[in-house]
Structure 1
Amino acid sequence: MSAIVSLSDRQMACVDLAAYLKRIGLSGALPPTQETLRSIISHHMASIPFEAIDVLLGRDISLDPRAVDDKMLHRQRGGYCFEHTSLLQRVLQALGFSVETHLARVWVGHMPEGPAPAATHASLKVVVGDALWLVDVGFGSFMPNEPLAWQPDLPQQHAYGDYRLRKTMSGFMVESYHDHAWQALYEILDFPWEPIDYQVANHYVSRYPDSHFRSRLMVAVTTPEARYTLASNRLKIARVEGGIEEHRLTVEEMIDILGGRFGLNVESCWIPVLERIVASAQAQEEAASS
């Protein structure tokens, strides 16, 4: 079984479950069942945002479990894939689930016939009885807020779209149905990984100069009613029953939405970054219209 950091199985299972369940607003008995797994994923994605604001601030992203838990459980922050995966893996293990982590190549924004992108994403494979499930709470607004059955070539209908896993030479391609065609999201590399592999991927994503996390604000939560995505200064609300709203935000409105809908503890040092983002977006719009 792969792990995010070099810890024993006992240490990996160490997580403040009470703090986690309070953070996601879930209580009661939680046996390691499919129903529990669905409930945890839904509450997690509605309560703990996908965000990489620390990367924009030039901060290091630590995958040490204590740092992840302090940030996401006690400082009212979100995180990106490696942080979400670390937290949820330990929560599920503490509840009695069998869990593996896998790295993946993100194909969004890449041509299928082009060179393979680096493995810069992490997701979970969870065993429930005799069934395998793909669990991914750290891919922004692309994935459903429930598990996907780990069954190749099986179209699966979810509230936010249709998905499937397709077998590849290296593992499984996760695809969503969009614009009347299956679109590749990422390819799970289905073989064992060492802890250092996750550390290297995390460093690359957070420190590589051309990483989109270093130049673009991305925040997302998915509730049972709607997906909320903030990309740069544009807020998109996609509702389950249909209909999409898009809003161009000012700095003040971004602060309000980050602290309100996304539930983040907004720091004063974020404001210069938000001002830069809004100014850049306005400059691009003016250039496009001239």
Structure 2
Amino acid sequence: MSELEKSDPEKFDLDAYLGRVGWDGPRRAGPETLRGVHLAHALALPFENLDALSGRAPSLDPADLMAKMVHGRRGGYCYEHNLLLWRALEALGFRVSALAARVVLGAEVPESRPRTHAMLRVEVPGEPLPYLADVGFGAAGALLAPVPLVLGAEFEGGGRRHRFAVLPHEGPSPLWALQAYDRRARDWVSQYAFTREPFAAVDFEVFNWHVGTNPRSPFTARAYLQRTRPDRHLALDGSKLTEIRVNGSVTERELTDEAEVRRLVEAEFGIEVPEGLTLLR
């Protein structure tokens, strides 16, 4: 049994977590709390892969997640974000399980990508359908609000539009895709695809080791950071800095100076860069 699964929700430092993300609203397990905590987390904690860039998979131990992301000036990638949110939601009284997806953004065939992304299935008391919650997808098409797991409806949250679609594939279970509306392309774009059976936290420990240490993983090769603000989304991919405004305007520039990049990462992304780590490669 993994450290997460055998942990006691009552021992989770909910006050510290909610203080870090800036949520001072209700603490009862209801849709308002789920939406509020989800958005607060997405806006407060950056997406970053600096541990993998340093040559090691980040720890998913609950105490280490708290030390790094709640008490430290760091973010994380999908496993860290969503496992931290998992514990927080359980401490708030929600029933939570995990799902695993293939990131299909830019892929022609869903099965060409392995299952490497973690999301959460959340049951809300009094609600007929479970919700998909995900604060760890490092892209401008990521969810800012949890959405009910239902086909045939569109959802808007934080200025972003999403829906679910079913993709053709060879497996016995329906392959759902989370799609985001691309304003520039004026079309729906699949972000990731998944079936709805639950995965255990120990599965993500294996995925995490693969993504965080495999020399073929993009996360071990270059810096990849994302920060969402109410008015813009900021992304650093290697040396390219991209800013997407809520009105859809996009600006890009190449960064060539290591000192400038470190200052930007610390000031704009809110991340304390580990000593000795080179960001431009």
TM-score normalised to structure 1 length: 0.85
Identity %, equivalent residues: 33
Shift of 1:90: 0.4
For residues 15 and 104 of structure 1, what CA distance do their matches in structure 2 show? 27
CA contact (8 A) 2:25 2:36 kept: no
Instruction: Give the superposition deviation at 1:245.
Output: 2.4
Paired residues in the alignment total: 270
CA distance in 1, matches of 2:19, 2:201: 29
Q: Which runs of 5+ in 2 are unaligned?
A: 168-172
State whether structure 2 residue 89 is matched by structure 1 residue 92. yes
Within 5 Å, which residues of 2 pair with 1:181-260? 181-249=187-255, 250-260=257-267
For residues 267-286 of structure 1, what are the structure 2 equivalents within 5 Å?
267-270=274-277, 273-274=278-279, 276-277=280-281
1:6–1:222: structure 2 CA closer, same or farther, 3 Å change rule? closer
* Of 87-96 and 30-39, the range deviating more from structure 2: 30-39
What is the Cα deviation at residue 193 of structure 1? Answer: 2.2
Which ranges of structure 1 fall in alignment gaps of 5 or more residues? Answer: 278-290
The answer on whether the counterparts of 2:82 and 2:118 sit within 8 Å (CA) in structure 1 is yes
C-alpha RMSD of matched pairs (Å): 2.1
Paired residue secondary structure (1:122): strand
Amino acid at match of 1:75: G
- SS class of match (2:63): helix
CA deviation vs aligned residue, 1:104-138 (integer Å, no higher than 9, x gap): 111123212x6432110100111222232111110
Q: Which structure: greater helix fraction? A: 1
AA in 1 matched with 2:186: H
Q: C-alpha offsets along residues 220-243 of structure 1, whole Å, 9 cap, x if unaligned? A: 121222111111122222121342
**CA shift in 2, pair 1:13/1:133, >3 Å:** farther
Distance in 1 between the 2:190 and 2:248 partners?
23
**Aligned partner of residue 101 in structure 1, secondary structure:** strand
Distance 1:241 1:223 in 2: 13
Please say if 1:145 is aligned against 2:144. yes
Residue equivalent to 2:79 = 82
SS in 2 for 1:50: coil
Change (3 A) 1:80 1:221: same
Contact 2:224 2:237 in 1 (8 A): yes
1:264 partnered with 2:271: yes
What TM-score comes out, normalization by structure 2 length?
A: 0.88
